[in-house]
Structure 1
């Protein structure tokens, strides 16, 4: 048996009642952790169209705090990418997004000031992104967050599910029950409500191009069990009788 945990292009939904002052800075972190080089990074921020200006302002302010530096220093929030080749790939994807009509609120294709040598990439937030753009559909694996507009709960769910991937996700709402209802409708292996942390005992894995199978906790062990069904035994009959 085999279990595959692959890539993702996970959505982070801001519902119209979410506390943006809390949700947006945390959403930046949910994308940029480990330099954006995590399979479960929440790289698509799906936000209310009517609140775009507020979301953009908060995103720029929060992303500015993710400055590059020596990875061994505790104060550093953004390390380099894995290779120069990966840096070139990320820069090319961002460049194509800008050519296609996206706007860089912060960052872009240039290396961070003072970090021109090496595989450094600046914290980048793109707005004006539409669901059909490559940057909204393909895994970047770098510190690049894209903001997409939604026109209500149903639209947000549709945008989130319009993906070949399905590894992780997030929902933000002032009403936890509402957030849970939306989370249940997302086509993905995991959803974090209002910034919840990863639970190592909960099943982790994806659907679609994000893989098959689950890991963590007992679910990871069960992936490698072979079950045997024995029917028609005396004990089975006795069990049925006692249950009745």
Structure 2
């Protein structure tokens, strides 16, 4: 299907005015701000405050002052407030979907389903964990208790702007902590709505605080701050290394959810049609701007050409264009900078000799403005090539042939990343390989995402977990009381 022309994606969307949220109040900042750009049109749709270290100081002071009362608040009350937050987000789901489409270019159907829909599911799962959690236990002559860690600094990325806020803030609050959040300056508008929803739900002043700004200023101030007991960061591996280094000065806890280069291993007995359908959908999900995207497809060498032809046919059904249109499958990337970065990788793949199946460099025909790239598939990809090893963060799928299970596992594991992987094939066969893969999560035959299961990576994909009991415990300290 041909691309559709892009329109003014924010024309009918009510956009919040970004402001810091400190001690229960909106704190507007006058003067120069950071432009928020609609990537489909290039239009500046908002100006976000360029926060300072002093703004972080004020937010931390508010969070520290609120901690004593909030940490001793009855768990049932904290749960009730988080249920109200979930209800508030659901009430504003259509507004949130439109805002996220305007700020990152996600197709409106995906924004509605995932970006604005999944947070309520994540909150429900976090509440279940908190309700079932064993807060103390007897071990010999000791009582082992779990307690909130203190003020949590949360730094979230632009690609899933609301989901990542919820994944960090809600478990931290349920555990009895207070929070200072820095959302991405690229996509801050949905976080602004989240702040409004927390206030409307009755979350006390100072328990949740938001400071806008850049990672170099606000992010570093959060990581460095002696009043913050823990920092939870999601983003690139390079930025995560910087957060860990800065945080080391105060020996605070650091939880990192970083990059990925997930492989889908298609086993010889797999249903190829199903593997291609699921594989392409998960490679191009959110425009490929997902750390868990299945960007490498490993296929048996003897099936390589058949899989490539099936991918070519499947790709033809995808529509690229105006993200506000219901029929759009792929919108623009989140920024012009990201478009240029992905385009350079596509050019690199061609230069290195990979076979271009669909797509290629430059914008799609008819989409000469906006941060659009051609969704791209490469075949016969060398597993040692740049496009097979580096995180591209765009709609670029690499097809890599393999011979035998051992080589499939070796290629899958031969990466600095270890966030996620997937396998298509017989259940027992797939399970045996899954146990050999060095990644934090392995999905077999398109298994449904589970908000109760931990999400996080091995190696340079990070060292923490989100979701489930493991994610909840990131925000708790352990104390032994012996008699």
Deviations 1:126-161 (A, max 9, x none): 012111101001000100000001101111000000
Indicate the residue corresponding to 1:44 in structure 2. 296
Indicate the residue corresponding to 1:200 in structure 2. 451
Indicate the residue corresponding to 2:406 in structure 1. 154
Indicate the residue corresponding to 1:35 in structure 2. 287
Indicate the residue corresponding to 2:460 in structure 1. 209
Indicate the residue corresponding to 1:227 in structure 2. 478
The structure with more radius of gyration: 2
Aligned to 2:469, which of 199, 207, 218? Answer: 218
By how many angstroms is 1:228 displaced?
2.8
8 Å CA contact retained: 1:107, 1:124: yes
Point out where structure 2 has 5 or more consecutive residues left out of the alignment. Answer: 1-252
8 Å CA contact retained: 1:103, 1:127: yes
CA distance in structure 2 between the partners assigned to 1:65 and 1:87 by the alignment: 22
By how many angstroms is 1:229 displaced?
3.8
Please say if 1:23 is aligned against 2:308.
no
8 Å CA contact retained: 1:64, 1:123: no
Aligned to 2:361, which of 97, 109, 122? Answer: 109
Please say if 1:180 is aligned against 2:431.
yes
CA RMSD of aligned residues (A): 1.1
8 Å CA contact retained: 2:295, 2:397: yes
CA distance in structure 2 between the partners assigned to 1:219 and 1:64 by the alignment: 41
8 Å CA contact retained: 2:278, 2:446: yes
Aligned to 1:8, which of 260, 269, 272? Answer: 260
Indicate the residue corresponding to 1:68 in structure 2. 320
CA distance in structure 1 between the partners assigned to 2:451 and 2:296 by the alignment: 23
SS of 1:42's partner is coil
CA distance in structure 2 between the partners assigned to 1:5 and 1:74 by the alignment: 31
Aligned to 1:134, which of 343, 362, 386? Answer: 386
CA distance in structure 2 between the partners assigned to 1:97 and 1:111 by the alignment: 16
- Structure ranking higher in strand proportion: 2
SS of 2:360's partner is coil
Indicate the residue corresponding to 1:53 in structure 2. 305
- Structure ranking higher in helix proportion: 2
CA distance in structure 2 between the partners assigned to 1:181 and 1:79 by the alignment: 38
Indicate the residue corresponding to 2:151 in structure 1. none
Deviations 1:141-194 (A, max 9, x none): 100000001101111000000000011110000x21111111111010101100
By how many angstroms is 1:224 displaced?
2.0
CA distance in structure 2 between the partners assigned to 1:215 and 1:2 by the alignment: 13
By how many angstroms is 1:230 displaced?
5.1
Indicate the residue corresponding to 1:237 in structure 2. none
List structure 1 runs of 4+ shifted beyond 6 angstroms. none
8 Å CA contact retained: 2:319, 2:327: no
Indicate the residue corresponding to 2:440 in structure 1. 189
Bigger RCO (CA 8 Å, 6+ sep): 1
